[in-house]
Structure 1
Amino acid sequence: MSMTALFTGRSPSGGEHVTDVYHYAARKGAIEAVEVAAADLGIDVHLVSEAVRHLMESRLLRADDGAGGRFVPVDPDLAVASLVSSVEREIYRRRELIDQIRERVGVFGARTGGDPPPSTVEYLVGAMEVRGFLKTAGDACRDELLVLQGGVGEAGDLSQMFLVLVARGVTVRVICQHRSRADVATRLAMKRLTDAGVEVYTVSHVPRSAIVFDRSLVVLFGDGEGGEGGDVSLARVRNQGIAQFFLDMFNHLWETATPLEGVEFGYATVADDLQQSIAALMAKGYTDEVVARKLGMSVRSCRRHIATLMRDLDATSRFQAGVEAARKFLKTG
């Protein structure tokens, strides 16, 4: 079935047998030979061949490499994902082309006193929209990818994109929160990235998840315009001034961050930085719950750090501990 027929619902010649042939393949585990399938189904060989061709185009059948004439059924969800992925890439390739044309033509409008160029911010809402854009942006990235990974799940799982880019020779640097050191699953996932060549550092707090592609395209994750009901959303920003701001902020955080190295878990290597951040928040009068939320850790872990801090400083109250710790770190810094 062609792409047009797939989306419009039109079935070409032999299309009425497509479902029967697919169910036959799923039931048997494979179509060993078209002639055998035709005999088993009582359908003309030509019509079965047409149905197989349509199923191949729809990614519902795949040729079994090394076994001529043998076709294996593909799970419908996987087939849909495969087809949608190519459509998403084409949509965003064309969107990028449209934006480039607008930017180039907009320069002439600005010089002649015409309308200003269109907004450099675009909001995308919905998993398919976001996923498609990120695939296209990743495919277009050539030199460097800078990542700020804030709250858990804000930016989704982008590890596969990181691995693909590193394999292509793109520099990938990631800053995430110290909490990544304590979670076993996250730590193992991060180790996989570092083993592949991704540079991963951690800090106490990342205010918001963001990505900068090739020092020019900024992507902000979070609630965008029109986002409702927990929809995945992002803001795409094409503005060199904004991009430079994020580059400066990233480089500042990078200089103060701690490399994620080895396979050890926990906060041992970042204890001083973490205690300094906790002390600063305590001095402002924040509750344990608020401190924990701001630093992206569990309340139980946060309270354990606070108890250690108060014991080391011989403080009798949270506020006193915060103030004394702030003074201590100010002197040693």
Structure 2
Amino acid sequence: MTLTTSSTGEFTGRSSADGDHVTDVYRYAARKGAIEAIEVAAADLGIGAAEVREAVRHLVESRLLRLDHGLGERYVPVDPELAAASLVSTVEREIYRRRELIDQIRARIGLFGGEGDGSDRTTVEYLAGTMEVRGFLKTASDACRDEVLVLQAGGVVEDLSETYIALVARGVTVRVICQHRNRADVPTRMRMKRLADAGAAVYTVSHVPRSAIVFDRSLVVLFGVEDAEANVARVHNQGIAQFFLDLFNHLWEMATPLEGIDFGYAGVADDLQQSIAALMAKGYTDEVVARKLGMSVRSCRRHIATMMRDLDATSRFQAGVQAARTFLRTG
């Protein structure tokens, strides 16, 4: 039995006598590094060219061979794990596309139920696992038409830069709020620059409470707080969506635009020190302050030392209180 996918992404099975040829042709391609010509492969394997061509067709459908465009009929082998991941991703996107369609049908039918029929009931779906989460996010992005708002807390969200860039290219407005600490991390800063160069609006604040994405002001995706396995909660509820829209707009008003992606905390030092001072005044330890602001303890202590020196304070708590009062007077 050979598994392939149809044009709709569904698996189809095939049982035939030439199943052994498929395996032999793939192993031949893997051994040679590529199938340079069907006739040459047929001669080397001692089977007919028609059988080799049929085997190649099934291997291409199964993503185990790919045509090397521009070089005639040259086929390059693909790692089986990558081929399997590609097939699974295709099927998962189709599953979530159909789920979205089911939700739309239910919503339309609910319009005929009158008031008090539960049409405002919250729909929550929990998804776990990297492949499942990626499949859902791809489907939600494909369905998005107008706007994507991103709250990036860091540490629990995989890099979705390419997804956001593809949305911008389609004319979708993309606004991202992430934490100031991203300015000091070179790889993250470069991804932010690519996003900004592509047309996304990227701002930073001292602290983002939770990672979330709002698609078209209606679908909310909440990312899990655990670092272990990718997991999200998919929420369809206008009241919850409005809460996140209000939260996003509130943070956006306080956030600082990247403006050239300066290295480190240039341009946001005052805002960052204000947040540190407020947490210090509450008696939090350096470790807790650093964790709440998503920065390293070393960087946090450097900012605290600067504040204590500027304020001529003799203790962390005194520095925190004095700094907080200073920011309140000047804010």
Indicate whether 1:47 and 2:51 are aligned.
yes
Using the alignment, how far apart are the partners of 2:140 and 2:88 within structure 1? 17
SS of equivalent to 1:3? strand
Residue 85 of structure 1 is matched in structure 2 by: 89
1:314 aligns with 2:315: no
Superposed, 1:130-209 pairs within 5 Å as 130-152=133-155, 154-209=156-211
- Residue identity opposite 2:134 in structure 1: R
Aligned-partner Cα distance in 2 for 1:259–1:11: 59
Rate the CA distance shift 1:201–1:271 in 2: closer, same or farther, 3 A: same
* Aligned-pair Cα RMSD in Å: 2.2
CA separation in 2, counterparts of 1:327 and 1:263? Answer: 30
Which of the residues 23, 27, 30 maps onto 2:27? 23
Q: Does structure 2 conserve the Cα–Cα contact (< 8 Å) formed by 1:217 and 1:239?
A: yes
Residues 5, 61 of structure 2: 8 Å contact kept: no
The superposition leaves residues 236-271 of structure 1 with CA deviations (integer Å, 9 ceiling, x where unpaired) of 111111111111111111111111121421112111
Q: How far 1:31 sits from its partner (Å)?
A: 1.7
Q: Which runs of 5+ in 2 are unaligned?
A: none
C-alpha distance in structure 1 between counterparts of 2:139 and 2:221, whole Å: 13
Contact 1:219 1:237 in 2 (8 A): yes
- CA drift of 1:121 comes to 1.4
TM-superposition CA deviations, 1:146-200 (whole Å, max 9, x none): 1000032x12111010110111111111100000011111111111111111111
Amino acid at match of 2:123: T
| Equivalent position of 2:15 in the other structure | 11
Query: 1:247 maps to which residue?
Result: 245
**Contact persistence 1:276–1:325 (CA under 8 A):** yes
Asked if the contact 2:121–2:237 (Cα under 8 Å) also holds between the matched residues in 1, the reply is no
Is 1:285 the counterpart of 2:283? The answer is yes
Task: State the distance in 2 between where 1:65 and 1:139 align.
Answer: 27
Once the two structures are TM-superposed, the CA of residue 281 in structure 1 deviates from its matched residue by: 0.2
Change in Cα spacing, 1:117 to 1:284, as seen in structure 2 (3 Å) is closer
Structure 1's 293 and 319: CA in aligned 2 closer, same or farther, altered over 3 A?
same
1-structure distance, mates of 2:280, 2:118: 51
Could you tell me whether the CA contact under 8 Å between 1:110 and 1:117 is conserved in 2? Answer: no
Give the distance between the partners of 1:310 and 1:193, measured in 2 at CA: 37
**CA displacement, residues 1-40 of structure 1 (integer Å, 9 cap, x when unaligned):** 5526996775334112111101111222222222221221
2:230 to 222, 229, 232: 232
Matching of residue 329 in structure 1 with residue 330 in structure 2? no
Q: Which residue of 1 aligns with 2:76?
A: 72
Query: Separation in 1 of the partners of 2:38 and 2:129?
Result: 41
- Given the two structures, how large is their TM-score scaled by the length of structure 2? 0.92
Q: How many residues align?
A: 327
Distance 1:318 1:117, change over 3 A: closer
State the 1:310 CA deviation. Answer: 1.1
SS at match of 2:267: helix
User: Structure 2 vs 1, CA of residues 142 and 278 (structure 1 numbering), >3 Å: closer, same or farther?
Assistant: same
3-state DSSP class of the match of 2:268? helix
C-alpha deviations, 1:98-133, integer Å up to 9, x for none?
11122223344464x767676411111111111111
- Tell me which amino acid in the other structure corresponds to 2:170: R
Secondary structure of the residue aligned to 1:268 is: coil
Three-state SS of the structure 2 residue aligned to 1:146 is strand
Corresponding residue for 1:304? 302
TM-score of the superposition, structure 1-length normalised? 0.92
Conserved? CA contact 1:102–1:117, under 8 Å: no
Distance apart, 1:309 and its partner CA: 0.7
Shift of 1:90: 0.6
Contact 2:4–2:58 (Cα < 8 Å) also in 1: no
